[in-house]
Amino acid sequence: MFISWKSIFFFFFFFFFFFFQFCKPSSDLQFPCNLSLHPSYPFCNQSLSITARAQAIVSLLTLQEKIQQLSNNASSIPRLGIPSYQWWSEGLHGIATNGPGVTFDGPISSATTFPQVLVTAASFNRTLWFLIGSAIAVEARAMFNVGQCGLTIWAPNVNIFRDPRWGRGQETPGEDPMVASAYSIEFVRGLQSGNWMRKREIRNGFEENGLLEEDDGMGSLMVSACCKHFTAYDLEKWNNFTRYTFDSVVTEQDLGDTYQPPFRSCIQQGKASCLMCSYNAVNGVPACANPDLLQKVRNDWGLKGYITSDCDAVATVFEYQKYADTREDAIADVLKAGLDINCGTFMLRNTKSAIDQGKVKEEELDSALLNLFSVQIRLGLFDGNPREGKFGELGAQNVCTAQHKTLALEAARQGIVLLKNENRFLPLDKNAIPSLTVIGSLANDSSKLLGGYVGVPCSPMSLVEGFQEYVETIFFASGCLDVPCASDNGFDEAILIAKKADFVIVVAGLDASQETEDLDRVSLLLPGKQMNLVSSVASVSKKPIILVLIGGGPLDISFAKKDSRVASILWIGNPGEAGGKALSEVIFGDYNPGGRLPVTWYPQSFTNVPMNDMHMRADPSRGYPGRTYRFYTGDRVYGFGEGLSYTSFKYKLLSAPKKLRLLGKIEKSRRRIIPQIGDGVNMSFMEVEEVESCDLLRFQVKLSVTNIGDFDGSHVVMLFSEFPKVLRGTPQRQLIGFDRLHVKRQQSVQSSILVDPCNHVSLADEYGKRVIPLGDHIISLGDLEHIISIQV
């Protein structure tokens, strides 16, 4: 075959062109403080403090250069050798493509997809939460080193899952502020430190390295975490309300002990280096323009980092909420409130005009830029070539590792919740299942297991593929064409194959057509004709069926709970890439489920409660039932913390104090003790800020858990408290501690739960002040109760 010299020329031309464009050696990568290309500026001097280095950068910038840094897509500053930077990268439960900072078009084509956060929360395993954050950090750094991810990850989402219809509830740790707080601390610590120095372990034996440093919040970062969405944000699009215009009218009491604690913990204990303010207004003021909220985060909670808006949330201050009269006023409002950067271009386009009109001072930009550059310096972005730095060896070989995929599988296992198991129908005998029928459009599509905010998973497996590892003969029919299930055209096929097999599994639930960002549900029932499909199949199956539920939002499945033809119900949520394997292991007895619901499952009648009503406490005078297990007074389908096992456990309380005495000045508390509720009620409490030495009040509740059944298994211990009724709005009960223990059959394990009275045994009064009720507190562990008397 004849090849012309022109062909040879073009071949080599394009070869070398693409080689140098996409396979550049590390010396050609763009990074600040490249001394071979630029002089050594003061901000490159690593012997200086972080603040001094950040101030050095700001001092060298022109006004226009400063403005160009106020967007998530920060512009380069060529004369100083500072390249552009994309602040927006997502890593809620694995590196995700939702933000422009992430791409899978490169040497790394996938990343580990862990279970959605609500599923991980159902494990009630702090160590697991830390390890997932650590693994995401490793993969983020590895992808950063090849130019595929930023180092500022906008996660976790620690909003309270207040209303079961919320489309983004799956992204959160659930409805309990203590659980959400604990999750935020562990995930952020794992994400920002990246498991490099100290060892922690999951109690079932899985190990990973981890780092938990106590510092002043200005130490080095492997990855920067961002607590979002601040605050009282949990409505997307319901009736005539949208998140862009919604005003969350919230009492100080609800702010104090429900909405704010996860964010406070995320900043104070987790030491997150970023906070994202939300779209909505809070009590009439947009969250991103609310100085009372944002200054509290920095001044009272000690944020050492930056505050970003949700994307285009600055624009909504003017364009949708009409809070500001002009674009320039909106810029002034958010900067004065404490915002540092705008996700979007609104500030790029309008800040110069705001300065020209005298509404914004250049010094206000300097303050914002100091926070931004400080975080970049802590990330090592101004320490020279990152591939020669502390994490420079990380690359493709550190993404989708066997260790991370095992962690994803373990997380999926631990998050599965067994809700019903009549006559111990499960587990199935894996050696005696000749055939299996699987029905449901969600069962044969691995993408439906992932949930929102995902990337490209390493090794996705559908539920059917998981079952195939146990059963040779499987019949499958979708039954419904899709999740909305508007037609029963596929029912006949489903009923036909249901009659064939020895056992039948029906997979039902939700996907992004029902719940997602910008979309709330209007019903708590299974979508469309899914309920009819379940009942129709159950009526013809040889044996009672197994119902598997997918999705984040709670469902009213009262029909299945009461139906004896439905033997077992499992909630798997969005279990991630390993969900198919995890579920099959549970159903066929290779893993004993131990997850607990992190949210209340309400009946369909709850949809009569307006979603825009942000009150947590019940109000009988207007027929308002309250929200979450702490305050809800109505009927439940399943309660917070419910979850079964294949075995049984017995508790023994080994030790706990009977009395606690608080020390401190009680002048404020005395002045504010007024008759708030009826006669005969003890009116005593003490403000937490008046208590001396909260740390010295901490105590251990020591307990023993015995597995009295036939299966080894993990068990979640949950310690609740019932407070003396000293204030209006006192919770019915409140979780004050939890632990996950692995207990072998016919053996016992001891554990201690640390209780911090100032945090765990306090509530907010009507002014939002944390107070400790005085009197008898009833501590409950399962059916066991213990009284602790708290006195001054």
Instruction: List the catalytic residues.
Output: 310
- Which H or E element spans position 130? helix 126-145
The answer to whether the bond into 229 is cis (omega within 30° of 0) is yes
Positive or negative torsion for Cα 352, 243, 184, 187: negative
- Asked whether 420 and 568 are in contact (CB, 8 A), the reply is yes
Integer angstrom CA distances of residue 40 from 45, 56, 386: 8, 12, 17
| Spatial CA neighbour of 535 closest among 558, 511, 503, 510 | 558
528-468-128 Cα angle (round to 5): 80
Annotate 475-507 with b (16+ C-beta within 10 A) or e (fewer).
bbbbbbeebebeebebbeebbebbeebbbbbbb
CA dihedral of 323, 325, 329, 334, whole degrees rounded to 10: 10
- Asked whether 595 and 574 are in contact (CB, 8 A), the reply is no
* Amino acid in the structure at residue 638: Y
- Asked whether 228 and 273 are in contact (CB, 8 A), the reply is no
Which conformational region is residue 476 in: left (phi greater than 0), alpha (psi within -120 to 50 degrees), or beta?
A: beta
Residue 413 makes CB contacts below 8 A (sequence gap 6+) with 582, 585, 586, 591, 593
* Amino acid in the structure at residue 344: G
Integer angstrom CA distances of residue 472 from 299, 430, 445, 477, 478: 62, 11, 19, 16, 19
Please state, in angstroms and rounded to a whole number, the distance separating the CA atoms of residues 559 and 67: 58
DSSP string for 360-399: S-HHHHHHHHHHHHHHHHHTTTTSS-GGGSTTTT-SGGGS
Integer angstrom CA distances of residue 133 from 5, 16, 334: 55, 40, 30
Annotate 326-342 with b (16+ C-beta within 10 A) or e (fewer).
ebbbbbbbbbbbbbbbb
Which residues are paired to 224 by β-bridges?
152
Helices 327-337 and 362-378, interaxial angle, to 10°? 50
| Spatial CA neighbour of 101 closest among 289, 337, 379 | 379
Residue 416 makes CB contacts below 8 A (sequence gap 6+) with 119, 122, 570, 571, 572, 575, 582, 583, 586, 593, 595
CA dihedral of 761, 767, 769, 774, whole degrees rounded to 10: -40
| Spatial CA neighbour of 714 closest among 749, 680, 762, 688 | 749
Residue 161 makes CB contacts below 8 A (sequence gap 6+) with 118, 169, 172, 173, 174, 175, 234, 598, 599
* 419 three-class SS: strand
Which DSSP category does 165 fall into? Answer: T
Phi and psi (nearest 5°) for 346? -60, -45
| Spatial CA neighbour of 373 closest among 218, 227, 229 | 218
Provide the strand spans (E) within 195-249: 198-201, 207-210, 224-225, 227-230, 237-238, 241-242, 247-248
**What distance, in Å, lies between the first and last C-alpha atoms of the chain?**
98
Strands 473-477, 306-309: pairing kind? unpaired
Please state, in angstroms and rounded to a whole number, the distance separating the CA atoms of residues 303 and 223: 16
| Spatial CA neighbour of 411 closest among 651, 113, 105, 141 | 113
